Amino acid sequence: MSLQLFARDQIDVLFDQGSEGSHNYRFDGVSRASVTRIRHSLRQLGLVKLCKISVTHWTVLLTWVVLLLRFTSTYRKLYTKSALLATMCTNVLLFGISDSLAQSILCYFSSHVDPVPQLIDDMVNRLRGPQLIEDDNDSDNLSVFNDYGEPTMESEPVYDLSAPEAHKFAFFRWCCFMLWGFILSFFQVPWYKFLNYFYTEDPTVVQVLERVLSDQLLYSPISLYCFFMYSNYVMEGGDAETFSKKIQVLYLSTLGCNYLVWPLVQFLNFLVMPKHFQVPFSSSVGILWNCFLSMRNASNSLT
């Protein structure tokens, strides 16, 4: 490149780009090698287990539990400012704990764990009558979340230690669960406000039963249906056909399990808990409920 100073002198300046390019090339090579080594170390660390549970599961679960414990000290103050914001933060933490706990249970047992009582499945099959799904094998193995992987041969082991799927923490599913809790808070808060406004403040047994019936006959079936829709289209990338199969096979049995748990929980919730603790209480019990859904999925997705 030529530089001309005051129209008198001309200086030719040459830039040697070869050395700079070689330095950049060596730097890129070192950085890529470092990233590769870090990824390999993280994969190996994820295979390390404590009490049959991987370090990754322990780390995520304990981190979210610590965050929840720290959040409890500021929940009351945050709730007075914004009930919706407090519920959103609570649901994100609780739903994150729920799914990480479910994945830890799957990692611990490394086998099929189906929490649905056989009695409920038999009753639902009798109520449903003839199967509407052409392939009986697909209907038997359909899970709460779709399984789009290759079918496992009977001769193959359920768990292959060279590719331990149950020992891998599913971060995408975990984030989707927390996102579902975040979305659900926009409906929980106004719903509880409606129940507390529509019914009298007198905490008699009759009033509590009215609230429980309203919650279980209106909110629970709709929210469960929306959950199946969310898991099918968002979490699994399914279509209308997979969603229809999921509703036909799983909705009634899951709703039956819901009625075994939630009426009593909501009765205690409306009878004993203060208003500002009603949503967190139901979300806390929802930890076990979401573990139930995740475990049921795991019991079928490995077959």
- The answer to whether the beta carbons of residues 200 and 210 sit under 8 Å apart is no
Q: Is 52 exposed, middle or buried (0-12, 13-18, 19+ CB in 10 A)?
A: exposed
Ranked by mean pLDDT, the top range of 11-20, 38-47, 166-175, 213-222 is: 213-222
Note the pLDDT tens digit of each residue in 90-128.
999 999 998 898 888 888 876 545 555 555 556 556 665
> What is the DSSP code string of 4-73?
EETTTEEEE----HHHHHHHHHHHHHHHHHHHHHHHHHHHHHHH-EETTEEHHHHHHHHHHHHHHHHHHH
At residue 251, the pLDDT reads 85
Rounded (10°) angle between helices 275-301 and 252-272: 160
Across residues 180-199, what is the average pLDDT?
89
Note the pLDDT tens digit of each residue in 228-244.
899 889 988 889 998 99
- The answer to whether the beta carbons of residues 18 and 8 sit under 8 Å apart is no
At residue 141, does pLDDT exceed 70? no
Across residues 128-150, what is the average pLDDT?
46
At residue 222, the pLDDT reads 94
At residue 66, does pLDDT exceed 80? yes
Across residues 155-174, what is the average pLDDT?
59
What CA–CA distances, in Å, run from 22 to 18, 28, 32, 219, 222? 6, 10, 15, 65, 62
Dihedral sign, Cα of residue 266, residue 272, residue 278, residue 284:
negative
User: Strands 53-54 and 49-50: what pairing?
Assistant: antiparallel
Q: Is 217 exposed, middle or buried (0-12, 13-18, 19+ CB in 10 A)?
A: exposed
Picking from 106, 115, 111, 109, the residue whose alpha carbon sits closest to that of residue 157 is 111
At residue 226, the pLDDT reads 93
At residue 22, does pLDDT exceed 60? no
At residue 298, does pLDDT exceed 70? no
At residue 145, the pLDDT reads 45
Report helix, strand or coil for 245.
helix
Dihedral sign, Cα of residue 22, residue 26, residue 31, residue 36:
positive
Note the pLDDT tens digit of each residue in 74-89.
988 898 899 999 999 9
At residue 215, does pLDDT exceed 80? yes
At residue 67, the pLDDT reads 95
At residue 170, the pLDDT reads 87
At residue 284, the pLDDT reads 81
Rounded Cα distance between 100 and 10, Å, is: 70
Report helix, strand or coil for 289.
helix
At residue 54, the pLDDT reads 87
Report helix, strand or coil for 293.
helix
Report helix, strand or coil for 268.
helix
At residue 9, the pLDDT reads 55
Q: Give the single-character DSSP code of 159.
A: -
At residue 221, does pLDDT exceed 80? yes
Rounded Cα distance between 206 and 27, Å, is: 73
Picking from 183, 187, 199, the residue whose alpha carbon sits closest to that of residue 279 is 187
